[in-house]
Amino acid sequence: YEHLSSFIGEVGNVRKTRDSLKGEVLFFGSDSGAVAIFCRSGDEESVQKALSENEFKTITTPEGKGNPNKEIESSLKQIKELESKVSSLEEEMANWSEKNGRLLLAAEERLSSQFEVLSAPVRVATTEHAFLLDAWVKSDDAESVVTTLSKIASHVEVEDYQPSHHHGHGHDENHEEPPIAFNDRNVSKPYELLTDLVGRPGYGKVDPTFFMFITYPIFFGMMLGDMGYGLMTVGLAMLLKSKIGHTDSGKLASSLIMYIGLSTMLFGFLYAEIWGFEIGATGDHAPPVWLAWMDVFYHWAHHPHVTLPFNVELAFPFHRVGSNMVDLILISIYFGVLHIAVGFLIGWRDVTKLHGAAAGFFEKGSWLLVLFGGFAAIYGVFAAKGHTSEGYLELLDTMKNVGGIVALVGLVCVCWGLVKYEGFGAAGWMIGVLEIVSLLSNTLSYVRLFAIGVVGVKIAETGNKLGYHNFEHALHELTAGHDPVLNIVLIIGTLALWLGVQIFAWVLGVFSPNIHTARLHFVEWMGKFYEGSGEPFNPFGGSDQYVEP
């Protein structure tokens, strides 16, 4: 129009934009934020100012003429046709990917490998009459490398790497360490994924992968410990294997989940727990009829009990939320002491190998004196309460005194190690005392092996009480002919509630114990010996993931 200006676009707040406009304007707005504003040509400056203050974004209007309703109808029809075409193309792409995707990845992988091999000459140092190739090779492959290269080279030499023996935590920046290749493994290979999360171990250091293969499923199973959730976790592992098991990482991830699922089933069997129900229990904890038959496993075993040292009692079944709760707390703490001790032993070995026996003892071995001495002293104090046997009290008193002396000697050695070998100087005497408090915190952190599981059980029990037991009651009332409409609604509602709580408890049970188990390994345990300073070994030409040998 000659005397009319238009503004069509989007704003952040339609109402605020409308209120900020001044003068005679024609305003149209929608809930989506789209606006259309018309004003006299002389008032367009004030409208532009108001729009700029409200994050106005211009929408370019399409060219056209005729009835707007018909134009809109035609555009909507075109949009629908295009959406249908997009959906058809996406389905066609998915089918093509399912049929040819792995072949395409394999071809890309093979071509990339060949390209790296064919472009190898650019990596070789050459002169007019010679060439030089310097590379890292795995020790197991050294002989075959020499044999192969000797056919085309006049001089081939493989030299074993010798790590530098320096004290303290500083590293020689000019000293290149070799990349790290994992040992050939079978059953424990999935736990390489966890090791790679914190970096490869330094050259010559202990690889924690096999240790985690043993302790990671145990800790996870102790926390989740439910046959039903373990079965669901195994099902998840099988699903992942069918979807991504053709890749190396997918295969390892599905196997890792399979391991923790099986461990969850095993500990659930020991705990006599399935989907929050306790086999053999009565009242609100009692399992439904279709699960009560499992009680035969526990009656057949005649409920054996074994009393172990340090006031630990093992039973079958082991009721972690009932009669054996205190035992599980003690076992969690004892696991913490032993797990941390293994970490210090590994660190002792690594430091001794690099820097000598004295450095190994004062940097790592002395912590074992503090750990076991402090444990004996604390146990001697707390275990004496409630006992009247003079012989046993005398033993506890000896543990308290000797343990306290050993812990004190260990503290002095720890401080000296910080001063002498780890470069803290005089401040090491104060830092050593603070580190003792940190060690106590690390040990008590293992109580989460008990606490996380109990929380999960209580969530499942709440769902069983509010959901499943009310579902059974409503089902009984319906079969008895009482209030059919009301009871059908209750059956649907309570069953949905029970299934929802079970799924929530399982999802929480998969993620939360994994996080806490990873923390116990990465922080409390590996912090005692591990430095993820190694670089992964990437062989020349790459490794095959999609190309079959």
Express each pLDDT in 324-370 by its tens digit: 999 999 999 999 999 999 999 999 999 998 889 999 999 999 999 99
* Separation CA 262–CA 274 (nearest Å): 14
* Separation CA 383–CA 309 (nearest Å): 12
| Residue ranges of the chain with per-residue pLDDT less than 50 | 169-171
The one-character DSSP state at 422 is S
| CB count in 10 Å sphere of residue 180 | 20
Residue corresponding to tokens 């999960």: 456
* Separation CA 432–CA 430 (nearest Å): 5
Residue 301: predicted pLDDT: 65
Give the H or E element holding residue 141: none
Q: CB within 8 A of 205, min separation 6: which ones?
A: 350, 529, 530, 531, 534
Angle between helices 366-383 and 325-355 (to 10 degrees): 160
The one-character DSSP state at 60 is P
Q: Hey, what long-range contacts does 298-307 have (CB within 8 A, 24 or more apart)?
A: 298/272
Express each pLDDT in 27-84 by its tens digit: 999 888 899 999 988 888 888 888 888 889 998 877 777 887 888 888 899 999 999 9
- Global model pTM greater than 0.95: no
CA-nearest of 447, 457, 435, 539 to 506 is 457
Cα→Cα distances 444→83, 335, 340, 440, Å: 58, 10, 11, 6
Instruction: Provide the pairing of β-strand 57-58 with 273-274.
Output: unpaired
The one-character DSSP state at 181 is -
Residue corresponding to tokens 């012989």: 391
Angle between helices 248-271 and 227-244 (to 10 degrees): 170
What residue type is assigned to position 466 of the chain? L
The burial of 81, by beta-carbon neighbours within 10 Å (0-12 exposed, 13-18 middle, 19 or more buried), is given as exposed
Peptide bond into 536 cis (omega under 30): no
Residue 171: predicted pLDDT: 47
Per the CB < 8 A criterion, the answer to whether 237 and 209 are in contact is no
What residue type is assigned to position 288 of the chain? P
Peptide bond into 317 cis (omega under 30): yes
Residue 542: predicted pLDDT: 66
Residue 362: predicted pLDDT: 94
* Separation CA 488–CA 482 (nearest Å): 10
Dig out the tokens for 500 from the structure: 């929802």
